[in-house]
Chains A and B, each alone.
Chain A
């Protein structure tokens, strides 16, 4: 039951990315292009997502258990680190270069896009590059 819901959560999230237009890189770049012809659609995607998830997090904030009576796994870090900011800046630059972020790229790959496949492969290399080499090189705990 829980496994089915987890699968469906991913499926609905993915369908939401398609419906919202976020799997089309032109819409991402249209949003980021404030000096050109600005496409505000992404703002409404975030408003829609947050307006539901906000209440879900509020509801869970007081509870220590899920609806299946299991413990929650929420991030506990509150420290504003250098890595948080530099990593996000690098992420934002890559996001703007292709118009893809991880979720939409995986959905586009599922739809058979070869270009999304190239992006996803490079993204996996980047993830390995950080988790396996960078963290060891600089001895950063994750």
Chain B
């Protein structure tokens, strides 16, 4: 098998710039609040009814409001980059269930394990990142090439 690069859609400049911004956001949360920017863990905490109005839910809610409003504010600065979602609605539901359940069972997602965990040289996060990437490669192969 030979690896071919999709030069048309490879955007090294914006990918690196956006990545640096992710690092900046995660570092700000760490330096000033002492917290890990792991989106799945933060979200799962605030949606628990027993955590409503708790002190620990407040900073998480603020971070999430900032995150979500990025999508709302961006169009006022520049045109949103095009997004193409190939998945059908049933596939989106299945994917959401797996992402929600799996990120909780695995204690993290692409942000908590992939960016923060690797940055702090956590072995657990390395194992998690290798696992979800491997599952991603296999699933993509099965959906795109094995039919």
Contacts and interface: CB of A to CB of B under 8 A. Distances in A.
Q: Do A and B bind each other?
A: yes
Interface of A: 2-3, 5-27, 29-30, 32-57, 59-61, 65-68, 70-75, 77-80, 83-103, 105-113, 115-116, 118-131, 134
Contacts of A67: 31-32
Given A11-B66, A50-B119, A84 B31 contact: no
Q: Is the interface of B mostly helix, strand, loop or mixed?
A: helix
A123 B144 CA distance: 23
B137 A45 contact: no
Interface of B: 1, 3-6, 9-12, 14-37, 39-40, 43-44, 47-48, 58-59, 62-75, 80-87, 89, 91-107, 109-111, 113-116, 118-124, 127-129, 131-141, 143-145
A7 B105 CA distance: 27
Nearest to B94: A97
Nearest to A130: B104
A84 B124 CA distance: 8
A18 B80 contact: yes
A94 B68 contact: no
Contact of B87 (A56, A65, A110, A115): A115
Given A111-B74, A125-B96, 12 more contacts: A6-B66, A7-B63, A32-B140, A35-B1, A43-B15, A60-B30, A74-B36, A86-B106, A95-B110, A96-B143, A115-B85, A124-B100
